[in-house]
Amino acid sequence: MLEDYLENQTEDTEDFEDDAEHKSYKLYNFRRPDKFSKDNLRALRDIHREFSKAISLVLSGYLRMRVEIEIVSVDQLTYEEFVRSMPSPISVGVFEFEPLSGQILLGISFEVISCIVNRMLGGVGATDPQSRELTDIEKALAKKVINIILKSLEDAWNTIVPVTGKFISLDDNYQSIQVATAGEIVALLTFEVQIAGKHFGLFSLCFPYPVLETVLTHLSTQHIFQTKGLVATNDERLKMISKINSSTVDLRVQFGTCSITLDDFLQLSEGDIIKLDNKVQDDLIVKVNDEKKFFARPGILKNQVCVKITDVYDEMHEILRNYF
C-alpha cells in the first residue's frame, strides 16, 4: 500500500512539472508596474514622430540653419529613475496641456540650448564647450524657444485630442521640480537633435501617468490611423469657417402649395388667382439650397417684401399644422 501511494505521488509530481513547462509565465514587478501598454507607447512614438518633423522645419526657419530632430526612444520608468538619469545643468520647461491634469516636462540639453541661444544672439550657432547654468538673458531666449516647441507639440496632439499648451516655468535641473511622486510611472520620450550637421544633443519629454490616464483609450495606433486627418485644429476650423462665411447659398421662401391639372396650368394668365393650401396665419417655410431650414412670417420693410424668421424648421411641427 505504501509503495503504491509513493508511486502515485511521484507520477502526480511529474505531471505537474510537465504542465509547468508548457505554461508561459510573465514576471510582474510590483515596485514598478507597467501602466502603459505597448500599443500606448507605439502611439506616443507615432504622435511625436510627426511632431519631430514639424519642429525640425519650424526651428530651421526660425534659426535660419538646418535643424534635424528625430525620436530615438520611448520608455516607461519611475519618476525617480527618470530624474536620476538626467544630466545637470539642463534646461527644463514645465508646462500643462489643458484640459489634461498634471504637468509635463520638456528637458533640453545644454549643448542644444546654448547653440540655439548663440544663434539667436547673432552668432554662428556654436556650442559652449563648458556646461553651466543659463544667464537671465539666455533664460528669456530659452523660454521663447520652448514656447515655439510647445506650439508644435500642441498641434501634434490636437490631431488626437484637443489640448491647449500653457507654459509654467523654466528651471536648471530636475531635482528642484516635483511633478510626480518618486514611484509614479512616467512615459519618457527622447529625441536626438542635430544642428547644422555638426552640433549634437538631446531633448526629452516626460509625461507622468496621471496626465495621460484619461486619454489612454485615444493612445492606440488604430485610433490614430482612423482619426488621422479627420480632426481639425483650431486654426484649420477658423480657416474653414472664414471660407464658408463667404460662400453663396440659394435662399427661397415657400408661400404655399396647391394641386392643379396640367391643363389648368397651361391656361394660366396674368391676373388669375391660385388658391394655396396653407392659411393666412400659417408660417412660411424658408429653404436653403432646397432644404427646409426655417419658419418665417411675411411682411414689408422699406417698401420691400420680406420675411421674418420665427423658428427653426421642425418636420413634426409642419405635420401637426397640416393635420389641425
Average pLDDT over residues 242-261: 82
For residue 228, what pLDDT band results from cuts at 50, 70 and 90? low
Give domain limits for the chain.
38-235, 248-266+273-323
Spatial distance between the Cα atoms of 288 and 156, rounded to a whole number of angstroms:
37
pLDDT of residue 5: 46
Share of the chain above pLDDT 90, in %: 37
For residue 2, what pLDDT band results from cuts at 50, 70 and 90? very low
User: Does the structure show a pLDDT above 60 at 298?
Assistant: yes
Spatial distance between the Cα atoms of 300 and 279, rounded to a whole number of angstroms:
19
Per the model's pLDDT, the better-predicted residue between 83 and 256 turns out to be 83
* Average pLDDT of the chain, as a whole number: 83
Average pLDDT over residues 23-32: 55
Average pLDDT over residues 252-259: 84
**How far is residue 97 from each of residues 101, 159, 163, 168, measured CA to CA in Å?**
7, 14, 6, 11
As its CATH architecture, domain 38-235 has 3-Layer(aba) Sandwich (3.40)
As its CATH architecture, domain 248-266+273-323 has Roll (2.30)
pLDDT of residue 29: 55
Whether residue 311 contacts residue 283, with contact meaning beta carbons closer than 8 Å, is answered with yes
pTM more than 0.75:
no
Spatial distance between the Cα atoms of 118 and 115, rounded to a whole number of angstroms:
5
Residue 124 main-chain phi, psi, to 5 deg? -90, 0
For residue 222, what pLDDT band results from cuts at 50, 70 and 90? low
